Amino acid sequence: RAKSAGSGLASYDPEMLTGLIQRLELEADLRLALERDELLLHYQPTIDLADNRVVGFEALVRWQHPTRGLIEPMQFIPMAEATGLIAQVGRWVITEACRQAAAWNAEGAEPVTMAVNVSVRQFDRTDLASEIAEQLTASGLPADRLCLEMTESVLMTDTEENLAQLIRLKALGVRLAIDDFGTGYSSLAYLRRFPVDTLKIDRSFVERLGEQADDAALAETIVQLGESLGMSTVAEGVEEYGQLAALREMGCNEAQGFYFSHPVPADEAHRLLLEGAAA
């Protein structure tokens, strides 16, 4: 769109330029955030639908920005993925989540499983399996108390490389979950090849449960698919009792959502754990 060489910048939309500058600032800030320890984790409990007990937590990253306040992951994770900073962010998240889970589990209560979100970009940029092996050793967390959540894109892109990486992760003993299941395009054939333990039913299928028969059918299909493949199912985004009842009826194993608890800081999560049940 440049009218002539040299005046190219002037012909761009000034709002676009402002947006670009803000993104560059945020990127520079995120590099500093890692050094200054401004990232933190909130934890959302996972409930076993058979007995209503807290059986685990999902670690969700936040950024306590010195001037912008608490920033949600959707406002910086995509940028971290685009710039490659996700490798460092991801390493920090796994270290902190393992440390926290090991500390809680050391108290002698029923051990919890800690779920951590792993971006598809962490597969191409890092040797994830060796990194996680180190983190498990350093924290003392048993491998089967760590669950890695990844979206279907991990199965669909660089399939052979990612499959090899997942097999190495599985050999360590960590659990593997497919996040937002049902929203991607993974085929049954892919799913069977990958050593996946858990399907997380996307919130969009849970949202309208109880309203339309079609939506219930989709959630139920995923639960049955899990059963026939020997995988457990976790429903995300449960906000109402009706959804919970429908999921329990279907035989879904675990659930998460605002109905039980929002993601909360570590001390609050710890209290939920001591209380045993979130609902």
Residues that bind Ca ion in the complex, under the rule CB under 5 A: 117, 149, 179-180
What x/- string results for residues 121 through 160 when contact with ligand C2E is judged by CB under 6 A? Answer: ----------------------------------------
- How many whole angstroms separate alpha carbon 10 and alpha carbon 271? 56
Contacts of 112 (CB under 8 A, 6+ apart): 54, 55, 56, 57, 101, 104, 105, 145, 273
Site string for ligand C2E, 202-241 (x = CB under 6 A): ----------------------------------xxxx--
* Residue whose CB is less far from ligand C2E, 3 or 52: 52
**Min CB(101)–Ca ion separation in Å:** 16
Residue nearest to ligand C2E (CB): 257
| Residue closer to Ca ion, measured from CB, 81 or 180 | 180
> SS3 letters for 115-148?
EEECCCHHHHHCCHHHHHHHHHHHHCCCHHHEEE
Measured distance CA(128)–CA(78) in Å, rounded: 19
Q: How far apart are CA 77 and CA 256, in angstroms?
A: 22
What residues from 2 to 21 belong to the interface with ligand C2E (CB under 6 A)? none
Give the separation between CA 253 and CA 263, rounded to whole angstroms: 20
How far apart CA 104 and CA 55 sit, in angstroms, is 12
- Contact between 77 and ligand C2E per CB under 6 A: yes
Give the C-alpha separation, 273 to 148, whole Å: 21
- One of 26, 29, 44, 101 touching ligand C2E (CB under 6 A): 44
Among ligand C2E, Ca ion, none, partner that 5 touches (CB below 5 to 8 angstroms by kind):
none
Q: CB-wise, 105 or 261, nearer to ligand C2E? A: 261
Residue 258 contacts ligand C2E per CB under 6 A: yes
Q: Are 252 and 209 in contact (CB under 8 A)?
A: no
Residue 201 contacts ligand C2E per CB under 6 A: no
CB of 56 or CB of 263, closer to ligand C2E: 263
**Distance (Å, whole) CA 106 – CA 98:** 12
The residues of the shown chain that bind ligand C2E, judged by CB under 6 A, are 44, 60-61, 72-74, 77, 93, 117, 119, 179-180, 236-239, 256-258, 263
